[in-house]
Structure formats: C-alpha cells, structure tokens
Amino acid sequence: QNTDDGNSMQHEYQDILVSEVADGVVTITLNRPEAYNALRTQLLSELADVLQQCSDDDSVRAVVVTGNEKVFAAGADIKEMAALDAVGVLNDPRVMHWRRIAQFPKPLVAAVNGFALGGGCELVMHADIVIAGDNAQFGQPEINLGIIPGAGGTQRLIRTVGKSMAMQLVLSGEFISAAQARDFGLVSEVTIPERSLERALELARKIATKPPIAVRQAKEVLLKAYETTLDSGLSLERKAFTLLAATEDRNEGIAAFMEKRKPNFTGK
Ligand code: HXC
C-alpha cells in the first residue's frame, strides 16, 4: 500500500517485497518466483532504490535480503541479456545499480535457500553476512553461456574463497553446496532451510542494537581489507578507531560497562 506518512519504504514494487522497519531491520524479499528470481534490470533497480532509502532512514540499522525456499536468485535474466549487443552491455544501467548496492553503508545480511547462481551468487557476495539453508547451491555458471561473471564474481569470489575454488567455480560452472560454501568462507553459517531467514533476522536485530556509527565504521574498514595493503588498512582502522573516541555512544558504552548496566546508544 502506498502511504505518504514518511514511511517511504512502503511503495509498490514489481519484483521485490519490502517489509516495514521492525526492530531496526528491513527485510527485502526477491519476488520473481516464476523466473527463479532472475535479476532483471527492474529488480536490481528496485533493490538499489530500497537500499538507498534504508541508507537515508536513521530508523533502519540493518537490512536482510532473501529469496524463497527454492531459490535465492538464478542470476542475471538470461532472456533480457540476450537482447543486448556489446554497446548495450557497455551502457547497461545494471552496472550502476550494482554499484549502488555495493555502496550500501549499513550491514546487509543474506538468507539464502536453494539456488544462488551467477548474479545471484554475486549478490550474495554483496552481503556482509550470509546465512545459508542446507539446501543452498552456489555457482558461477556463466561459462556455459559463453560469458564470465560480470558483477564481481571473479574479483570478490577469489578474495573470498581463494584461487583454486574460484577458478573451479568460474571455469567449470559446477555448483557447490552450502557446507562447502561455509568451508570456503562464502557463508558464515548453515542452518536448516526453515531457519535461515530467522537466523539472519536474529543477527540483523542484534546488530541493530549496536552503536550505528561504530557499526558503519566497522563495515567500511573491514571491506577496505579487500583492496588495500595491510599497512594502509591498519592506518585506516586506527583513524576510524580514533574517530569513534569522539562519539557519545563510545562514552555511553564504556560508562554502561563500568556501571554494570545496559548501554543506551543514540547514534551520536
Ligand atoms: C531467466 C531464468 C533464469 C535466468 C531460471 N529461469 N533461471 N530465466 N534468467 N537466469 C527461468 C526458466 O527459464 C524457467 O522459466 C524457470 O525459471 C525455471 O527454470 P528451470 O530451468 O525450468 O528450472 P530447473 O530445471 O529447476 O533448473 C534450475 C536452474 C536453471 C539450475 C537454476 O534454471 C538454470 O541453470 N538457470 C540459469 C542459471 C544461470 O546460468 N545463471 C547465470 C546467468 S548469467 P520458463 O518460463 O522458461 O519455464 C549471469 C551473469 C551475471 O548471472 C552478470 C552480472 C552483470
């Protein structure tokens, strides 16, 4: 329902479902079951728009993204992709949507059941924490279509799972199980499928109670580890650590510990 009472998240979307903010958490459900949640432009653009709104809304402290019980997302929409020539691919607005998703500054937790393939696996790698149902399957099958991953599936994957497994996935197109994905660091926990979303929400709600400036700094500094030297990463960490000493929430956190009470963080 379209409401204009300030809760701008509650638009009508075609390809996703967006929950109200509950305990600081918004849940986004990919919702094109008939196409195995293929990530057509419309879907990616709606996802990027909602994340932008979540970014702007102080009441949102974390976001959970999920699919359905059979599929997280089966990749780029192959039917849509088929219509693009090289210039079409060059000017594809999806590149911009992916960038907007990557720049989301708050914690993004994915709950993955079933297939997470191609762009679906790449979307998983845009999440900060990934909980997988034990029926999840991860893969980069683009090679079967004569292409390669195009939304970070070479670069983020190799940084996440290491060279041999990244090569195996991208060159052979084979899928790996949730347990293998956990062994290789692509996901942090495996649950029964019925529990993956609840566990993701549990983590997101917990993060939502933490001091938001520190959470944001932590995400930024952790992600920098992918692309910087140890020395400059440590320097950035020290700067963020110093910056946090100027926040009220840091004083509150320390005072609450000393006074043996729960902290009341205000985001200042
Ligand atoms: C469009 C898709 C789709 C996709 C599935 N469907 N995946 N439509 N794009 N990526 C549609 C099918 O056409 C079919 O609809 C319905 O979803 C169910 O799919 P089936 O194949 O009938 O189901 P099943 O036999 O269970 O096999 C599931 C599957 C298979 C293993 C996931 O669908 C599959 O291999 N899909 C493609 C996976 C893939 O190659 N992904 C990478 C895409 S390239 P209809 O109406 O036909 O029955 C990519 C590049 C990223 O992601 C680059 C980012 C910039």
pLDDT tens sequence across 217-264: 999 999 999 999 999 999 999 999 999 999 999 999 999 999 999 999
Instruction: Give residue 5's pLDDT.
Output: 47
Name the residue at shortest CA distance from atom 45 of ligand 1.
35
Tell whether the torsion through CA atoms of 155, 80, 51 and 182 is positive or negative. Answer: negative
pLDDT-derived band of residue 212, with 50, 70 and 90 as boundaries?
A: very high
Q: How confident is the model at residue 8 (pLDDT cuts 50, 70, 90)?
A: low
* Cα-to-centroid distance, 36 and ligand 1 (Å): 6
pTM metric for this prediction: 0.95
Distance 37 CA to ligand 1 centre (A): 9
What pLDDT, on a 0 to 100 scale, did the predictor assign at position 178? 98
Q: Choose which residue among 30, 31, 78 to substitute to test ligand 1 binding: the one with the highest number of ligand atoms within 8 A of its C-beta.
A: 78
User: What average pLDDT does the structure give for the chain?
Assistant: 95
Residue 185 CA to ligand 1 centre (angstroms): 25
- Confidence (pLDDT) at 11: 75
76 is catalytic: yes
Averaged pLDDT for residues 64-75? 98
The question of whether 173 is a catalytic residue gets the answer: no
Active site residue 122: yes
DSSP the chain: ----SS-TT----SSEEEPPPBTTEEEEEE--GGGTT-B-HHHHHHHHHHHHHHHH-TT--EEEEE--SSEEE--B-HHHHHT--HHHHHT-THHHHHHHHHT--S-EEEEE-SEEETHHHHHHHHSSEEEEETT-EEE-GGGGGT----SSTTHHHHHHH-HHHHHHHHHH---EEHHHHHHTTS-SEEE-GGGHHHHHHHHHHHHHTS-HHHHHHHHHHHHHTTTS-HHHHHHHHHHHHHHHTTSHHHHHHHHHHHTTS-------
- 24, 67, 75, 119: the catalytic one is 119
12 is catalytic: no
The residue with tokens 């590149």 is 95
The percentage of the chain sitting over the pLDDT mark of 90, rounded to a whole number, equals 95
In ligand 1, the atom with minimum distance to the C-alpha of 75 is 52
- Measured from CB, residues less than 6 Å from any atom of ligand 1 are 35-36, 38, 74-79, 94, 115, 117-119, 141-142, 145, 149-151
